[in-house]
Structures are given as structure tokens and as C-alpha cells.
Structure 1
Amino acid sequence: MFSSKKTKNEKLSQQKIDAAIKRLERFSKLTDSSIRIPFTQFKVGVDAIIGLVPVIGDAIGVLLSSYVLFEAHRVGASKAIKLKMIVNIIIDFFGGLIPIFGDFFDAFFKANTRNTTLLKDYLIKHA
């Protein structure tokens, strides 16, 4: 009886993890690749658009990116994965601060997509 209850709890945890991954995939698409550049196949997201506002836009981008880190903590990601995510967020922030280059950097680096992929790979490996 105890083992079946444990299996039910594990299944519930897996459902929560799957729901978190779906949320993160939607969030990453919105922030990193929701807007197609006309006449190209290249997509940017809200993060790159917000990043056009010097300093403040990049600070808002960090706040948005912290959501992925929060979800990683909620699903029990390791400290190493969360540290890699923090490094990606820091790179995205400081890269975005560079005048003109930073706007292009934001469009190409896509920290939220990188962090979502890190978390998905971690969860697949440890599931």
C-alpha cells in the first residue's frame, strides 16, 4: 500500500514537472522568438524589444529571465544547473548593455531558451 501511494506522488510530481516545462517553453518563445523579422526567417522576442531601452530594458530582461530560474528551483534542479542559468542571465544582461551591439546580442543569445533547454535536459537525464 505504501509503495502505490509513493508511485501516485511521484506521478503527481511528474505532472507538475511537465506543466512547468510547458510553461517555460511558452515563456521562452514569447521572450526569445515570438516576433518574426519581416522578409527573413529570423525571430526575436519581447526580451530583445525591451532591451532596446538602454539599461532599464536590460534590467527588466533580467527580471523576466529570473522566472526560468524560479521554475528550476521549484522542480528541484541541481545547484550546478541553476548556476549555469545564472551565468546565462548575467551574460545576457551585460551583453545587452553594450550600445548598438547589445541589441543584436539580445536577439541572438536567447538566454531564456538556453535556460529552458538546460532544465529540460537535466530533467530528462534525472527523471
Structure 2
Amino acid sequence: MLGNERLRQLEVLLDEAFVVPGTNIRFGIDGIVGLIPGLGDVLAGLLSLLIPFAAWVRGVPYVTVVRMLINVAIGLLVGTIPILGDAFDVFWKANRRNYRLLTRSIAEPRRHTWRDWVFLLLLGAGITVLFAIPLILVAWLIVLLFRS
């Protein structure tokens, strides 16, 4: 099992190992490997699953583990968009987010789970709205067509 220091090193390697010269922008191999079409995002996504897996093994509340998995999924899905997705990965930093969730949860078990629930509820509401908009537009167009 990976210790906390190893997980921190993994997080730095994936999200913060390099600096864009002349800026404070940090990126890791997640942003670089993602440039390889198809395979890069999958490989980076697999490596990113190590921190949520370690959290699960350590007994972190399931809602926090689900939030970590969603962080990875967002990075993976948006990361598949050529160029724009790789830029998103540099700023999203799913591994840093997940490492912070892990250390927060270990330091104060179950104290912050309400934040995880709020995140998941807001995400669910956002997805519901995104799926509802096309359905509402189609229904509106159908009503307009049958009115004529």
C-alpha cells in the first residue's frame, strides 16, 4: 500500500512537477501524457485512480471517494478534447484535489462529508439541467410544429 508521502509524490508528479517558465503555472505528466491521442488520457486516468483507491482502502467515507472518482472522471472526459482538454487538465488538477480530500478526511474523519454531499448534489443538479434543456427545446419545437 502506498504511504501518504508516496501519494503526495504521485500527486506532484501527475499535477505539479513542472513549471511554465516565467509563470506560476504548474503541470505534471498528466498534462503531458494527455497530449498522446486516445492512450494518453486513459493512462493518466488510470494513474489518477491510485489516490481514490488508497482513500477507499484507508476507510475514507464513500461519499468522499465518489467525489474523488468524479474529479478523475471530469478530468478524463474534458481531457479527451484535443488541446483544450489538456489545458483544462493543467488547471483542474484532479490529483491535487483528491490528495487534499484524502488528507482532510484522514485528519478529521467524517467532519467535512457535508461538503462532499453539496458538491455531488450541485453536480447532479447541473447534469439534470444540461439534459433537461434539449428535452425542453424539442418539446417546444413539437408544440410549435403542431400549432401551425
Rounded to whole Å, the distance in 1 between the matches of 2:75 and 2:3 is 23
Q: How big is the shift at 1:74?
A: 1.8
1:41: which partner in 2? Answer: 24
1:58: which partner in 2? Answer: 41
Q: Which has the higher contact order (CA 8 A, sep 6+)?
A: 1
Letter of the 2:101 counterpart: L
Percent sequence identity is 35
Q: How big is the shift at 1:20?
A: 2.5
Q: Aligned residue pairs: how many?
A: 110
Q: How big is the shift at 1:107?
A: 0.7
Letter of the 1:71 counterpart: A
Unaligned runs of 5+ residues in structure 1 are 1-15
- TM-score, with structure 1 as normaliser: 0.81
1:13: which partner in 2? Answer: none
SS in 2 for 1:126: coil
- TM-score, with structure 2 as normaliser: 0.70
Letter of the 2:56 counterpart: H
Larger radius of gyration: 2
Unaligned runs of 5+ residues in structure 2 are 111-148
Give the 4+ runs in structure 1 shifted more than 6 A: none
